[in-house]
Every structure is written in structure tokens, then in C-alpha cells.
Amino acid sequence: MGLKDQVRGIIPDHTLCSLSDHFDVIGDIAVLTLAPSLAVYGHILADAIISRRRNIRTVLIKTSRIDGCSRTASYEVIAGIDTVTTHHEYGFLYRLDIGTVFYNPRLASERKRVTDQVCPGERVLVPCCGVGPFVIPAAARGASVVAVEKNPEACRWLAENVQLNGVHDRVTLVNGDASDPDLLTGFMFDRAVIPTPYGMDTIFDVIVPRVKHAGIIHFYTFKNRKQADAMAVEFEEKGYDVILKRACGNVAPVVNRWVFDLVKQD
């Protein structure tokens, strides 16, 4: 039974049509995004979720979009107290505070797709790395990973997570701005995973000089389909081999998150 069916007859039908059965689960926290007309029913929805999902102890309503350098949103707690949780993803554990760091559980399979390609002995760069969902699996496969993150709260959780997952000896954590061209001077990498924040595509030109010839780049960006097609052509013209281009999640009716797997040939 979906969430909408659970509350049918409690929430008026004319309002219920705005409710989605889908919500994010991060650890033992459920995160809802509600239309304004549904906000008054938040506690009813929270009770419905907790009654069906015994692993959920906290329910949040997102009250603002992700914004700012720390890529965090604002939330209202409608059930439970704590916004700190431990999230399980493909055998790895991630401790985090949803109120202070960014985490997108919907990218789990995409992160596995990328990190499964990492080979032992590689040097891997992950800018804008958050609490480590690309970093830790790559290190677990035997790579040496440099993880760059601007948000000090995310860095604190990442430091805990590399210990928690037993990869602290293969991760170098840099608390800094990955868009600073001088930050990684002297470093060269076999692979870069670039989970670009919205509107920060210029980071690509900062990171790619740090990737070796024939190195691999996994670049994420937010575009409509026409823009993504044009970007693929531009990459080819600049000498990159485009191995993969695909949408991996939408952020607006015509805007998707796109990933480009590239081989650097210059």
C-alpha cells in the first residue's frame, strides 16, 4: 500500500492529488517534499509512514531547496527529534546530519556503477565529495583517493566515515574549495569523479588539468536534453572520448542530472 492509499479518507481527495507516494529515506529518516496545501497534514503523513516503516524514527519536511556553498536545505521535523543518522549503501556506512550536509540516496546505483570501475592502485580525485559516497567505495577497491570538500561539517562526517569503513589509510581529506585552481597543484590522477553542484560547471576546467593522459573523468551536470547533446559534441571537439552520456535523475520538468564518462586524450 502506498502512502496516498494509507491516508485516503483522512486527507481530502482534492488535496490528496498533490501527494506523491515517493519520498527519500536516508538511514532511519524519511524526507518529504510537500505541496503547500499538504503542509497542514504533515503529522498525519508522518504517522502513516512510521506505522508502515518500522525502521523510520524521524520524518522531515523539506522547507527550502538545496542552496549555498554547503548544498544544504532547510527542514521541519514533524516526527522524532534527531537529524543525525547512519545510512547503509551497498555494504558501506555513512554517518551524517541531514540538517548540515548534502546526501542524495537516489544516486546509490549510479555511485556503484562508477566506483565499480575503479582499479586497485589508481589515484582518484573526488571534488565536492560530501560525506564520502564516491570516496569510500573507491578507496575500498584499493585506490588512493583525494577527497575535496568545502563544507567543514561534511568534512567532519567524512573523517568519521573513512574510519568507520576502514579506509582511512587510503583517503586524503582536503577541506577546501575544489574550484580553486591552486588547491591541487602538483597532484595528478588516473580518474576524477566530479559530482558538480548545480550551476558550477566551470569546475570541470579546474579539475581536468589534474587528470593524466588517457585518464577517466566522470562529470555530472544539470542540463536539458538539447544542452546535454550539445555538451557531448563540445567534449568530442575538445579531444575527449565520450564513452557514456545518460540522464540519472531529474531536478525540474525538463532539466536532468546528466553524467558523462570521458577519456582524456589531450
Question: Residue 64: pLDDT band by 50, 70, 90 thresholds?
Answer: confident
Under 8 Å between Cβ of 132 and 162: yes
Read out DSSP for the chain? --HHHHTBTTB-HHHHTT--S--EEETTEEEE---GGGGGGHHHHHHHHHHH-TT--EEEEE-S--BTTTTB--EEEEE-S--EEEEEETTEEEEEETTTS---GGGHHHHHHHHTT--TT-EEEEES-TTSTTHHHHHHTT-EEEEEES-HHHHHHHHHHHHHTT-GGGEEEEES-TT-TTTTTT--EEEEEEEPPTT-TTHHHHHGGGEEEEEEEEEEEEE-HHHHHHHHHHHHHTTEEEEEEEEEEEEETTEEEEEEEEEE--
Residues contacting residue 128 through CB under 8 Å, at least 6 positions apart = 71, 148, 149, 150, 178, 194, 195, 196, 197, 200, 203
Nearest to 130 by CA among 111, 88, 106, 158: 158
Residues contacting residue 250 through CB under 8 Å, at least 6 positions apart = 256, 257
Among 3.30.230.70, 3.40.50.720, 3.40.50.150, 3.40.920.10, name the CATH number for the domain at 105-264: 3.40.50.150
80-114 pLDDT, tens digit per residue, is: 988 999 999 999 999 999 999 999 999 999 999 99
Residues contacting residue 238 through CB under 8 Å, at least 6 positions apart = 266
Greater pLDDT, 264 or 22? 264
With a threshold of 0.85, does the pTM exceed it? yes
pLDDT at residue number 5: 87
Query: Domain boundaries in the chain?
Result: 3-82, 105-264
Phi then psi dihedrals of residue 167, to 5 deg: -120, 20
Q: Counting Cβ atoms within 10 Å, is residue 19 exposed (0-12), middle (13-18) or buried (19+)?
A: buried
Beta strand 75-79 with 58-62 is antiparallel
14-56 pLDDT, tens digit per residue, is: 888 888 888 999 999 999 999 888 989 999 999 999 998 889 9
Q: Rounded to an integer, what distance in angstroms lies between the CA atom of residue 75 and that of residue 72?
A: 10
Nearest to 103 by CA among 118, 84, 124: 84
| CATH number for region 3-82 | 3.30.300.110
218-260 pLDDT, tens digit per residue, is: 999 999 999 999 999 999 999 999 999 999 988 878 999 999 9
